[in-house]
Amino acid sequence: MSQTTAAVLAAMGAAQPYATSQPLALEQLDLAPPGPGEVLVRIEAAGLCHSDLSVVNADRPRPMPMALGHEAVARVEAAGPNTRLKPGQRVVMAFLPACGHCQPCHTGEPWLCVSGAAANGKGELLGGGFRLSHHGQPVHHHLGLSAFATHAVIDERSCVVIDDDIPAEIAALFGCAVLTGVGAVFNSAAVRAGESVAVWGLGGVGLAALIGAVAAGAEPVIAIDPVPEKRALALELGARAAVAPQDVASAFAEHGAPRVAIESVGKGAVLAEAYRTAARGGRIVTVGLPNPADPFTIPAVSLVAEAKTVIGSYMGSAVPARDIPRYIALWRAGRLPVHRLLSGIRPMAEINDALDALASGQAIRQILIP
């Protein structure tokens, strides 16, 4: 039994500011050794995502207590029995391990893995149970990773091996922001060169979708967000127009209604607006995670009369072992400027302050260093 220092959430729904309420506490946890097909990793860097905030604020209920964090790069330190990975290998951690045996896995949709989703929902590893504990009581895993920590034991099916020369603060982003946002463009929407794309919400995933749309040859790309600084960044990254939500109608009047609308805000009303304003025959892709009680309401007749398609995109409909190397290659070629998503690098001890920066809209992606 080894130990790890991890950011643990004891209860959801803390009041803001989080710097005062301190919902996440750095705790010394016991860490069981890796079992068959599992590895012990040392975390190099982890990204703070809105999905983490959604657990803290109770928009996405999870079993408590839970050690958070689901976007990271790490180094393998030890491997359990019958494990293909070896100590010393560097890995990006993906937040849905695919079992390889269920129906979605067999039909080529591992992002819908039944076993992986069930384990994540229970806060366990894919192999069953917990590897984290505090004074003998189990601590739940966040999406099989619990990456806001110095060390973690994870299933090797959550790992994609990468090269050593990628800076840690860049490599971490490929595990969620890039995988989800770029995947929504390439996989879920299957954007073709010359198609128009609108992106609603310019957080880490939304901006990753934007740079993915630019890389795919979309034209025009229109960005929508209430924060002026994010709109300015979108223009620098290749958007033809970047507007506040109240100016969407005029932007679409000038540039045309989008053939593809990507919603990354996580609000039912925003998704309904993206659907309503998309072009006839448009594809509306949602990657946001709204509160389970938040409805999405549209006129049913419009699905037929306007021939629109609503597509839910989980993890960017990605196969991590296939897509992460592709996206890294595009980054190396200068076609995916992933580094522009970075808002700052902080020590893990500042995680609650980082939550405030994320919740206020000031930050896009903050990297935490254990």
pLDDT in tens, 142-190: 999 999 999 999 999 999 999 999 999 999 999 999 999 999 999 999 9
For residue range 195-230, what is the model confidence (pLDDT) as tens digits? 999 999 999 999 999 999 999 999 999 999 999 999
In sequence order, which ranges of the chain are alpha helices (DSSP H)? 18-21, 50-56, 103-106, 114-122, 168-171, 177-183, 204-215, 228-236, 248-255, 268-277, 301-305, 320-332, 351-359
Q: Is 284 helix (H, G, I), strand (E, B) or coil?
A: strand
**27 and 36 Cβ atoms separated by less than 8 Å:** no
CB atoms closer than 10 angstroms to residue 184: 32
55: confidence class by pLDDT, cuts 50, 70, 90: very high
- pLDDT at residue number 318: 97
Closest CA to 363 of 138, 35, 50: 50
CB 235 within 8 Å of CB 173: no
What six digits make up the tokens of 77? 């330190």
Average pLDDT, the chain: 97
Q: Which residues contact 190 (CB under 8 A, 6 or more apart)?
A: none
Cite the residue boundaries of each domain of the chain with CATH code 3.40.50.720.
180-314
Question: Do residues 41 and 83 touch, judged by C-beta distance below 8 A?
Answer: no
- Contacts of residue 77, Cβ cutoff 8 Å, sequence gap at least 6: 39, 40, 41, 42, 87, 151
**Spatial distance between the Cα atoms of 216 and 241, rounded to a whole number of angstroms:** 17
CA triplet 287, 289, 295: central angle to 5 degrees?
105
Tokens of 190: 């299957």
Residue 123 confidence (pLDDT): 98
DSSP letter (8 states) at residue 108: T
Q: What is the DSSP secondary structure assignment for residue 36, as one 8-state letter?
A: T
**pLDDT band for position 1 (50/70/90)?**
confident
pLDDT of residue 221: 98
CATH 3.90.180.10 maps onto the chain at 2-175+337-369
Residue 287 near residue 262, CB atoms below 8 Å: yes
Domain 2-175+337-369 sits in CATH at 3.90.180.10
Task: Give pLDDT tens digits for 285-307.
Answer: 999 989 999 999 999 999 999 99
Look at the domain 180-314 and name its fold: Rossmann fold (3.40.50)
pTM: 0.96
